[in-house]
Structure 1
Amino acid sequence: MEGNTDVTESKPTHCKHFVTRKKRYCRMTVKEGEQYCGEHQSEDISKNHDDDNNESQKRIVCPLDPKHTCYANKLKKHLKKCNAKPADTVPYIHKNINAGKVDETNVKTRNLSSIPIEYLLEVISKVNKIHNDTIKNSLIEKVRTHVILEEELSKPEYGNSTRKHLLQTSSILGLMKEYNLLQPETCYVEFGAGKGKLSFWVSKALENLEHLSSSVLLVERASHRHKHDNKLDKTTGHVIRIRADIANLILSEVDIIGKSKHVVGLTKHLCGDATDLALRCLTNCQETGKDIAGVVMAFCCHHRCQWSPYVGQAFFQEVGLTKSDFDVMCGMVSWAVCGTGKSREHRQQSEMNINQNARY
């Protein structure tokens, strides 16, 4: 090689904002000549962006939500799409209409370590007895599949997590078919729709059956990206998404519900007391005269349930369980999924040994 030219690679400069909660500096990289990343540039406004020439680079705190910032010269555009903007007044929103009797004493966290062991054992004994005497013989396990997902499930590129969700969706659709819930003139309401994966396949199943008079309504309080319902034809008006908290939703006031003869409620991994809110929402809708043809629900996160919206209070009182028992039970449910306490490496090695032994 000719010459000894030194090539010095410039290392990326990181944001100088100190994140108090994490006790470290922000790890985002910054533009050349800047000290802060886009999110934390507001820290540097007074020092570097007071002159009018830098207005295009100036960031200010969002007036709707002080937790984030935006460019000053794009504030008007940002306010139109900011997730914190107030919702438009619509007839189907009424504060806490499905929340039951609001109780300010609801327990937000369940710290079982502070509860006497004698009381824990007493609650466990109650639960076991009620299960054996009242519930055990009424439980039926059914796992079904639906033909609409066969091709998707056969794709080799999907991992275990994706396949798990597809199998769950297939089973939900299979149960809907078995109980004749896939029918015309029906609005399928998915509560807590998220990205709309369940509604996507419900819509596909309806197209396959040519139930074009049916519709799908997605209810979600958050604003998600990459929504699956965007892949469906929304020009027909058969797929509608509304942004609403289930606690505040008057289902009968939604236009698409009024145009449908039947309503079917759907959930997949609806978190905690959102399941109770959805059940009360459907019950309130039924009381207006609308036919609730069926409900298919998959629950999750029982530890996040609350006593106020809980629809099973009458049953608890009937079998001798109290609100305190309810809170203890919500703390105990995590025991079923909290793992073995062993390290991830140990679990992975155990799985490898099991798989290896299964081959021989």
Structure 2
Amino acid sequence: MTVVPGGVVSGAGDKCSDESADRLQCEFFLVKKNRRCGMTRRAGSKLCSEHSKDADRVPCPLDPTHTVCSSKLRVHMRKCNKFRHDVSYKAKQREIPWFDEGLNSISEGQRDSKPADETLLKSVALIVGVFEAEFGGKPPLPLIEKRNEFLERTERYKTLVNRKHARQQSSLIQHLKDSQLWPNSDPLASGKTLEYIELGCGRAEFSRYVNIVANLDQPEFTNDATEGALRARAQAPSFTLVDRASQRLRFDNKFSSDVDTEVEIRREKIDIKDLKLDVILHDASEYVAISKHLCGVATDLSLRCLLNSNKCKGNLKGILIAMCCRHVCQSSEYVNQEYIEELLKKHGNPKSEAMTYTEFFQCLKKFCSYCTCGLVPDKDPDGGAEDHVTRLTHNERQRIGHMARRILDEGRAQFLQSRGFQTSLFKYVDNSVTLEDTALLALRV
């Protein structure tokens, strides 16, 4: 058998040809996979349509990594896998009123790259210096893990084998309640309906628990002014759910059955960067934005989305976000670039070794990843320095990672403070439950 790297495999008598004799298999050789292409070719051609050099094939406009016959381009774009998963493309085709491309984004398509080894090494002293100067004299973030009695009394909670996520939700829900981000308990009191906005909701498990507890936590009242004794419950909250992915096994249809009453929910599949929030919110409501493990750049996009909403300007009571995955933040989307730039001016190296905002941010991201990467079994946490580019042990990288994480989280908190919120950062569960244990709470002043 003769193999041409990245090309055609020749030799009719080889074993691979015998095994595929019952069909016309493409003869293009995939070097990385060390095998032939598995697609079927047409009679009279050695290559499948993907690897053929036919002049009438053009790159797909939705995904240039594959090609399509130009005469079939219009049909292909309606069934292309990229189209099926491209929320923005489908939204533009349907002219959805809550889609406004790039409304909550300021990046203009810019993406971070991996920091150079030299830059990463240079950032170690800078991160430590910034942290010690800004937070060295302050206590570490407090562990404030709370428990909600109503949630932990439910049959669903009692029967869970793994309570890791339920324990997180119990703490976050109690924080909502103690911060007055909770439905009014008096059904006769005049006021606005409370609407929870869960951004990056996934299957909406967090909102489902909020709904269950909000229902259990509402006392019943007797109104003797009406004919007979009317027992009424306080008005239940509504839910607006936002996620860009198509979630399987989501909990949307469980909200009403969980509490034996109709619960108003609305789910929209859209990227937060393109979300025009006012269009999907109810009028005459008060809003509370929530999220559990809102990844990386999605946190920054969500904060900007909320502040871009006219309805939220006067009626957003507060925000509670359990943040995660700082390693997938984007320097161009971060909500408080001025804060990082100011830190560089105050604590940066001399001009001959100056680091730019983008370089420093990329290094902060990289070190944040060391907080959650874990340790290989049987490895010494105080070893491994000689095998790593930073020349730091696992524990040292993790320690600096926590410093980097605090810097990024503090910038977000200060951003909201400058917009009229009272903010606090805290650990809402012990890190034995989750390594992504930090929450940001913001209350309208």
Is TM > 0.5 for Structure 1 vs Structure 2? yes
Q: CA-to-partner distance for each residue in 1:166-193, whole Å, 9 max, x for gaps?
A: 1111111111111121215111111111
**Of the candidates 117, 123, 126, which is equivalent to residue 121 of structure 2?**
117
Query: Secondary structure at 1:44's aligned position in 2?
Result: coil
Does 1:46 find its partner at 2:69?
Answer: no
**Equivalent pair of 1:233/1:239 in contact (CA under 8 Å):** no
Cα distance per residue 1:242-277 (max 9 Å; x no partner): 0111111121121xx233421111111111011011
In structure 1, what is the Cα distance between the partners aligned to 2:253 and 2:236? 20
Q: Which residue of 1 aligns with 2:366?
A: 331
When residues 97 and 64 of structure 1 are mapped into structure 2, their CA distance, relative to the original with a 3 A threshold, is: closer
Task: Describe the shift of the 1:203–1:92 C-alpha distance in structure 2 as closer, same or farther (beyond 3 A).
Answer: same
Aligned equivalents of 1:22 and 1:202: distance in 2?
48
Q: CA deviation at 1:218?
A: 0.8
Deviation at 1:83, TM superposition (A): 3.7
Is the counterpart of residue 232 in structure 1 residue 264 in structure 2? no
1:88-120 residue CA offsets vs partner (Å, 9 max, x unmatched): 22222111111135373x424345x34263442
Q: What is residue 33 of structure 2 aligned with on the other side? A: 23
Q: How does 1:267-346 map to 2 (within 5 A)?
A: 267-285=291-309, 289-319=313-343, 320=346, 323=357, 324-343=359-378
Which residue does 1:183 correspond to in 2? 183
1:301-357 superposed Cα distances (whole Å, 9 cap, x missing partner): 11111122211223223433751322211111122222234459x9xxxxxxxxxxx
Mapped contact 1:286–1:292 kept (Cα < 8 A): no
Q: What secondary structure, in the 3-state scheme, does the structure 1 residue paired with 2:320 have?
A: strand
Q: Give distance in 2, aligned partners of 1:264 and 1:196.
A: 15
What is the CA distance between 1:291 and its match in structure 2?
0.8
Kept in 2: contact 1:92–1:253 (CA 8 A): yes
Q: Deviations over 1:21-63 (max 9, x none)?
A: 861669xxxxxxxxx9xxx7xx33735xxxxxxxxxxxxxx99
Alignment gaps of 5+ in structure 1: 1-12, 27-35, 48-61, 69-74, 347-360
Preserved contact between residue 145 and residue 170 of structure 1 (Cα < 8 Å): yes
State the SS of the aligned residue for 2:306.
helix
* RMSD of equivalent CA atoms: 4.0
- The 1:253/1:273 distance shift into structure 2, 3 A limit, reads same
* Equivalences for residues 136-147 of structure 1 within 5 A: 136-137=138-139, 139-146=141-148, 147=150
* Deviation (angstroms), 1:141: 2.8
Question: Share of identical aligned residues, percent?
Answer: 27
SS in 2 for 1:97: coil
Alignment of 1:251-266 (within 5 A): 251-254=277-280, 257-266=281-290
1:116/1:241 CA distance change after superposition, 3 Å? closer
Q: Is the 8 A contact 2:275 2:305 kept in 1?
A: yes
Q: What's the CA shift for 1:224?
A: 1.1
The alignment covers a number of residue pairs equal to 294
Amino acid at match of 2:42: S
Partner of 2:398: none
Residue aligning to 1:148: 151
1:260 and 1:244, CA in 2 relative to 1: closer, same or farther beyond 3 A? farther
Tell me the alpha carbon deviations over residues 210-252 of structure 1, each in whole angstroms, 9 at most, x when there is no partner.
5545211110001011101232339956111101111111211
TM-score by length of 2: 0.56
> Is the contact between residue 199 and residue 229 of structure 1 (CA under 8 Å) also seen in structure 2?
no
Distance 1:123 1:82 in 2: 42
Q: Any conservation in 1 of the 2:291–2:322 contact (CA below 8 Å)?
A: yes
For the residue of structure 1 that corresponds to 2:308, the secondary structure is: helix
Shift in Å, 1:284: 1.4
Over 3 Å counting, the alpha-carbon distance change for 1:236 and 1:83 in structure 2 is: farther
2:334 is paired with a residue whose SS is coil
Q: Which residue of structure 1 aligns with residue 208 of structure 2?
A: 200
Contact 2:203-2:249 within 8 A present in 1 as well? yes
Shift of 1:65: 6.8
Structure 1 residue runs of 4+, over 6 Å off? Answer: 15-19, 62-68, 77-81
The one-letter amino acid of 1:23's match is K
Could you say if the C-alpha distance between residues 179 and 116 of structure 1 is closer, same or farther in structure 2, counting changes exceeding 3 Å?
Answer: closer
Structure 2 counterpart SS, 1:115: helix
1:86 matches 2:86: no
**Partners of 1:274 and 1:115 in 2: how far apart?**
26
Change (3 A) 1:238 1:325: same
What is the DSSP-based 3-state SS (H/G/I as helix, E as strand, rest coil) of the residue aligned with 2:309? Answer: helix
Q: Give me the whole-angstrom Cα distance separating, in 1, the residues matched to 2:313 and 2:296.
A: 28
Cα separation, 2, equivalents of 1:21 and 1:231 = 49
Whether the 8 Å contact between 1:215 and 1:238 is mirrored in structure 2 is yes
Question: Which residue identity lines up with residue 249 of structure 1 in the other structure?
Answer: L
TM-score for the superposition, normalised by structure 1? 0.68
